Amino acid sequence: MTSTYSDRLKLELQGTGENAGTWGDKTNNNLDVLDAFAAGYLSKSVAGSADVTLTTANASATAESSNKVIELTGTLTGDITVFIPAKENNYLIYNNTAGSHTVSIAPTGHTANNTVIAQGAKTFVYCKSDRVEDLFGDDIKVTGNVTATNFIGSGASLTGIEPFPSGTSMLFQQTAAPTGWTKQTTHDNKALRVVTGTASSGGSNTFSGVFNTAIPVSGTSNNSTVTITGSTAGHTLSLSEIPSHRHLEGGHVEFGTGDSISAGTRNTGNDGGARRYYTDYQGGGGSHSHSAGTLAGSNHSHTYTSDFNLNVQYVDLIIAAKD
């Protein structure tokens, strides 16, 4: 009975009575295949825009698809798909390509059932023979160099997967930085400003100095000119409103003689004084009023002094950088 091969790892299944004298070599080869599938590392250039199919072979520890860790390199000039064997298996994929194009992983013969691996991402994928799925749902960044031992070893283990690159700054609503982060002390007692351009800092007044402190304010208003215009209404004085007075009578004809007497000369039958005639006194000197007249004001200013305190509510945050 001749040897057959396993469906997934392509191990040689030796038939009874077969391979006399070579059983040891074939067994050792199977162990090499298992070693590659468990921790083998492949750096594969996929530069350009053509799809790539990883090689596979029976009982081969050197076939491209026999490796656990596969790093894809090169500069892409178009979107590509990398095909892996359409057999149940899992791989650790590192998309280390350049160029603004996508890399998809798909089972051979199943172009539509694929998963896209973002550039710079390192993630587990699982092939279900007819489709490939990202085991993490989203691409996850892993720190450290990608090697067969480092990918699942110190500095890049599954428990050490880091979604944030070293140096990333974030806000935390707590006093101390979380594990793996370092509290930054450059900025203190400052407000946050959202910008669309370059991130920077500025200003000279502290947050609490502006918002939670009574600040005296004083000054002088600008000079202002005030003018009120108008005119009095017409008013005719009544007899009672004019001062008491009398009038000197004019010329007249003397009674009895018919002689013309000049103004200011009394008749001879009237004794005393300057021999003049006067009218009776008239007028009472009563009060009267006028409506508003015209007023004009000169430039003037006002001084003021006051305090204000916005006393805004706030929540303290810290900035911490990823170690």
Question: Residues 198-238: pLDDT tens digits?
Answer: 888 888 888 888 887 777 777 777 776 666 665 666 677 88
Amino acid sitting at position 268: T
Note the pLDDT of residue 69: 94
Q: What's the whole-model pTM score?
A: 0.44
Q: Strands, E, within the chain: which ranges?
A: 4-5, 12-13, 41-45, 52-53, 69-73, 80-84, 89-95, 103-107, 115-117, 122-127, 132-134, 169-172, 181-184, 215-220, 227-228, 252-253, 260-261, 295-296, 303-308, 318-322
Tens of pLDDT, residue by residue over 110-162, are 877 788 999 998 888 999 888 888 887 544 444 444 444 444 443 444 444 56
Classify the C-alpha dihedral 18-22-27-30 as positive or negative.
Answer: negative
Q: What would the mean pLDDT of 20-49 be, rounded to a whole number?
A: 89
* Cβ 97 vs Cβ 72: under 8 Å: yes
Tens of pLDDT, residue by residue over 81-116, are 999 999 999 999 999 999 989 999 999 988 777 889
Residue bearing the bigger pLDDT, 228 or 272: 228
In 3D space, the residue among 86, 92, 79, 87 whose CA is nearest the CA of residue 46 turns out to be 79
Note the pLDDT of residue 212: 75
> Is 17 a residue whose pLDDT tops 70?
yes
